[in-house]
Amino acid sequence: MEKGIIICIDDERVVLSGLQAQLGRSFGTQYGIELAESGEEALELVSDLINEGNNILVAISDQLMPGIKGHELLRKIHEMSPETYTVLLTGHSDLEAVTEAVNFANLYRYITKPWEGNDLLMTVKEAIKGFFQARQLEEQNRLLERHNSELEKLVEERTHQLQMEKQKSDALLLNVLPEEIASELKEKGEATPRQYEMVTVLFTDFQSFTQLASNTTPGEMIGTLNECYSAFDTIIDRHNLEKIKTIGDAYMCAGGIPKENTSNAADAVAAACEIQQWTVQWNKDRTAKGLVSWNLRIGVHTGTLIAGVIGKKKFSYDIWGDAVNIASRMESHGEVGKINISESTYELVKDKFNCEYRGEIEAKGKGAMKMYFVS
């Protein structure tokens, strides 16, 4: 794997030291970690690193700094180094700044302060992976372009073959992006990020996954995850939800995007119930075969967020906003075999589902939140 640099920018030295220590433990032996205490210093640093032939993998910037604000700085860094993945740290839900960064800085993700260590490390890890995948894909694209120029000489004889290749390409794009977004991307060459006022986000996560994974072979683990996620994909399709992504053993989907609707809360809860029922039966079958059960937690929240396409070489439809963080908290503060929903989701589904009030529960970074189990 190529060497590269991770840049951290914050006007508070203690924050920079924390980032350096946290990232250094996980990435310091593989990549260089550079620090800057202002936007101006960061731009000089980026310029020097580029001139020295370094790869700037990830730029992590605070939003509120004297002088250049975080989203403006990331835009300038993106102009200087378009391949760099950008991450915005903010203590405020500044949707305008996030939208600016998504539109002009190719924002990979924004994380609210105080961040969770594992969340930051996973974000940086995936960003680095995306950087090198984009490099690989770029090389593959160059080879494909050369191949296409050769095919042009045979276009009359091989029209049918080219049509078949186009159909495969379209099918692949639809596997990655929603149909509406894919159509916009093909038409305009880009897809405009949008803010949605009512979207329901659903998270699932397997309890003690690390332990489960350590007691099985890689092939068995991937096969089991594929079996589960394939079933989840089928279920959410029936309930008009859009799969967003999987991160390890976490599965995330959402309702109300890219086409807005008013039924997404009920759709998501119905899907969560069906996923839970499927998992119960699946575990019974596993137990009968002498296999270990995979216990599932599910969390659901309804709120406002931004959705759009990120990346230029490897497209990804993703969502950003506090609604995503709260949905994740609903999952992590739930219980195995139960569906934990937020107050906002409860108010939209209480007439359709039996719900049990759990009280106000302290959630990391969010304070006390009312939570309900769907029974």
Residue environment code for 56-73, b if the CB has 16+ CB neighbours within 10 A, otherwise e: bbbbbbbbebeebbbbbb
Q: What is the pLDDT of residue 205?
A: 94
Q: Which range has highest mean pLDDT (172-176, 291-295, 355-359)? A: 355-359
Mean pLDDT of 206-223: 84
Q: What is the pLDDT of residue 311?
A: 65
The pLDDT tens digits of the residues spanning 56-72 come to 999 999 988 999 999 99
Given a cut of 70, whether residue 160 has pLDDT beyond it is no
Confidence of residue 191 (pLDDT cuts 50, 70, 90): low
Instruction: Find, among 268, 300, 296, the residue nearest to 282 by Cα.
Output: 296
Please report the domains of the chain, with CATH numbers, ordered by start residue. 5-127 (3.40.50.2300), 155-188 (no CATH), 194-374 (3.30.70.1230)
Q: How far apart are CA 374 and CA 354, in angstroms?
A: 6
Given a cut of 80, whether residue 36 has pLDDT beyond it is yes
**What one-letter code names the amino acid at 250?**
A
Lowest mean pLDDT among 140-144, 160-164, 247-251: 160-164
Contact 73, 61 (CB under 8 A): yes
- 211 vs 355, which has greater pLDDT? 355
Q: What is the pLDDT of residue 295?
A: 92
Q: What is the pLDDT of residue 194?
A: 85
Distances (CA, A) of 130 to 108, 113, 227, 313: 10, 24, 25, 10
Contact 333, 372 (CB under 8 A): no
Mean pLDDT of 150-158: 71
Mean pLDDT of 223-236: 95
Note the Cα 208 to chain centre separation in Å: 21
Q: What is the pLDDT of residue 116?
A: 86
- Average confidence score pLDDT of the chain: 87
Given a cut of 50, whether residue 1 has pLDDT beyond it is no
Mean pLDDT of 104-132: 88
Contact 9, 59 (CB under 8 A): yes
The pLDDT tens digits of the residues spanning 257-284 come to 999 999 999 999 999 999 999 999 999 9
